[in-house]
Chain A
Amino acid sequence: MTDVPQRAAISREGLQALLDVLRQRGYRVVGPTVRDQAIVYDDIAAVADLPEGWSDEQDGGHYRLAKRNDQALFGYAVGPHAWKRFLHPPVLPLFRVEKRDQGLAVVGEQAAPARFAFLGVRACELHAIAIQDRVFLSGPYVDPHYRARREGAFMVAVNCGHAGGTCFCVSMKSGPRATSGFDLALTELVGAGRHVFVLEVGSEAGAQVLAEIPHAPATVDDLARADAVIARTSMSMGRTMPSDGVRDLLLRNLDHPRWDDVAARCLSCGNCTMVCPTCFCTAVEDASDVSGDAASRTRRWDSCFTMDFSYIHGGSVRSSAKSRYRQWMTHKLATWFDQFGTSGCVGCGRCITWCPVGIDITAEVQAIRDGEQG
């Protein structure tokens, strides 16, 4: 292991140096930035690109940015984007097929993907990435596109100092502290005229990068403050999920009247599946060009909420909104265990925030639990 302290402290300048070092090493650096009145993930080059002084207000069907009274760079929870948009792109050309003299030839479509460095990965997101790793890398067939993007990715995690209004990572045991899966993890300390980041090294790659930026060993005081920040975040979760035995609870209540209740509210818009960091369903589209000499195959995100999703033999297996909502929720919280050994939910709360009618997955589980006795 490169000789650096396991825990260090860096300044804002150090953070800029971190961005510079990553870019010099050929990474495409992506992180949070303000755009369209939300905090999204996009290419960033400088600390100035980060959402300095911003926080967010989140609730069911509600997202607003709010100004903080300090200069915190990471003083908000997660926004509508998840890192899956880079590792598992929304639209991915798979290949082209061209007519040649001898027949048909399959031709590669895409250029080699960038090596990503993600700045600001929350603990829940690290869990979500690990969950998608199991989906795409551990089955009998591996997704080479995910693997190509995932293998070289550099993760700079951030331990949350602000619990979102819809967050419940504590219930799902996926945060707020990042415990594994990162190269470096930051905890931001801002106040009393100081602005530093306590940095934990998570890998050799992280150690090597740390060695190239100005840093000092973290003081006992700073470590205590960092722990306090994380503890405070843990205590202020916006939601709780009664997560014991959820799998069995849902699978024995597939005909619970609550599903009709939520169906009356659900628009089957699919927002939840778009913002959820673990939803992975895709569809493929085939198109031929005007000349008819070439055809292409493209993969794109899909949602189990669409009518077409379960289409066979002239109709959909799941044609009612109720059955589609039930499919999503039971997959996320129940059958995911059967398929991949863990829950599919990391408690990030995005599905609650970005649902136009504010359907709350934690409330739905509670209602089914309560309704069981009744």
Chain B
Amino acid sequence: MSTVISSELPVSAATDPMVPRMARVLRRWREAPLTWTLEIEAEPPVTSEPAFAPGQFNMLYVFGVGEAPISMSGDPARTGQLRHTIRAVGQVSSALAQLRPDAIVGVRGPFGTGWPLARAAARDVIIVAGGLGLAPLRPAIYRILAERRRYGQVSILYGTRSSDDILFQRELERWRRELDIDIAVTVDHATEQWHGHVGVVTTLIPRATFDPADCVAMVCGPEVMMRFTVAALAKAGVGDDAIYLSMERNMKCAVGLCGHCQLGGSFVCKNGPVYRYDQIRDLLPRKEI
């Protein structure tokens, strides 16, 4: 099953943060073109809730291929398994996306900072997701829905390339029907089959219902999309210290020791990936930083 054997020199996940724990793939399914969700058993079994903080990521290792940082995309209350939604664009992510149930995958984590759910209590919440960015936000959405009364108005604004690329479609529809949250979905371009909103996700912001003076905004997507979104939120009156982004950089170790993920003076793996916007405001528009 999942075994770690130590040899002459004790090397284990407990003593060396670079050694993965082995876990089994439980299920996998396709979400959208090139995009798969992998459900992995929690190893060692996690009994206390939550299993991770929404926004955190694991380093997933494929035997002989390598590791990639993948955000958790499932419900932190489900402590038996961990879901990760993966876009197969590189060597490791493609290998991960092809793993079948019962395959073994290496896991290190959870790493990083999470979404500011505590800060959002008693405030309006506006979630803006672009493309795969909905995946690291989904655990936060689950937590918010599980304690809906804790929060004010909740809006989820989601933009992606086309209607084929919409992630978690059935869930979005279910949430829209059953609960008092506003969900708006838009696509960059569409065929005649699509009768919904067409346009970039920032165009949804003026119509969303939230109090810009008393809200928390959580934004995740391609960096360019996040920059435009921050500008649109600022225009709507949201303060720089109320906006949170999830940043991404090259990662090798995920524990702050290899230097790759530096963004200015911070390490995305440990000071991020979730950042309050005012803390990285000067870095974002800089080229090649």
Contact = CB atoms under 8 A, between A and B. Distances in A.
Q: Chain A interface: which size bin? A: 35 or more
Contacts of A135: 257
Interface in A132-186: 135-136, 139-145
A112 interface: yes
Contacts of B259: 280-282, 302, 304
A141 B8 CA distance: 23
B288 A141 contact: no
Contacts of A283: 252, 258, 260
A105 interface: yes
Interface stretch (A32-40, A192-200, A314-322): A314-322
Nearest to B92: A286
A292 B7 CA distance: 21
A331 B262 contact: yes
Nearest to B260: A309
Contacts of A317: 249-250, 288-289
Interface stretch (A63-71, A96-104, A235-243, A362-370): A96-104
Given A107-B5, A282-B253, A295-B63, A320 B288 contact: yes
Contact of A286 (B12, B65, B250, B260): B65
Given A111-B8, A297-B18, A141 B256 contact: yes
A105 B265 contact: no
Query: B interface, how many residues as a size bin?
Result: 35 or more
Nearest to B20: A106
A149 to B, nearest CB: 13
Interface in B1-42: 1-13, 15-20, 22, 24
A100 B3 contact: yes
A283 to B, nearest CB: 5
A112 B9 contact: yes
Contacts of B1: 102-103
Contacts of B19: 94-95, 106
Nearest to A96: B7
Given A139-B257, A323-B289, A104 B63 contact: yes
A129 B165 CA distance: 51
Given A280-B257, A338-B265, A287 B64 contact: yes
B287 interface: yes
A331 B263 CA distance: 10
Contacts of B249: 310, 312, 317
A284 B18 contact: yes
A25 interface: no
Given A109-B11, A286-B66, A104 B257 contact: no
Contacts, number: 153
B104 interface: yes
A24 interface: no
A110 B9 contact: yes
Contacts of A295: 63-64
A284 B254 CA distance: 11
Which of A103, A104, A144, A254 has most chain B Cβ within 10 Å? A104
B149 interface: no
Contacts of A111: 8-9
Nearest to A284: B252
Interface in B235-289: 248-250, 252-253, 255-260, 262, 264-267, 270, 286-289
B67 interface: yes
A331 B289 CA distance: 11
A297 B106 CA distance: 12
B89 interface: yes
Contacts of A100: 3, 5
B288 A282 contact: no
Contact of A313 (B89, B265, B289): B89
A309 B104 contact: no
Contacts of B11: 94-95, 106-109
A108 B287 contact: no
A145 B17 CA distance: 11
Nearest to A310: B250
Contacts of A102: 1, 3
Contact of B255 (A141, A297, A320, A323): A141
B60 to A, nearest CB: 12
Contacts of A302: 252, 258-260
Contacts of A81: none
Given A288-B64, A295-B64, A335-B265, A103 B260 contact: no
A140 B67 contact: no
Interface of A: 94-95, 97, 99-100, 102-112, 135-136, 139-145, 254, 280-284, 286-288, 292, 295, 297, 299, 302, 304, 308-314, 317-320, 322-323, 327, 331, 334-335, 337-339
26 contacts: A94-B18, A100-B3, A100-B5, A103-B2, A103-B3, A103-B24, A104-B104, A108-B10, A108-B11, A139-B255, A139-B270, A142-B17, A145-B16, A281-B258, A282-B259, A283-B260, A284-B18, A284-B252, A284-B253, A284-B258, A286-B67, A288-B64, A299-B18, A311-B250, A317-B250, A335-B265
Q: What 5 pairs across the A-B complex have the smallest Cβ distances?
A: A288-B64, A335-B265, A281-B259, A323-B288, A338-B265
Given A282-B252, A284-B252, A310-B249, 8 more contacts: A97-B64, A106-B22, A107-B6, A140-B256, A286-B65, A287-B64, A311-B250, A327-B262
Interface of B: 1-13, 15-20, 22, 24, 61, 63-67, 89, 104, 106, 222, 248-250, 252-253, 255-260, 262, 264-267, 270, 286-289
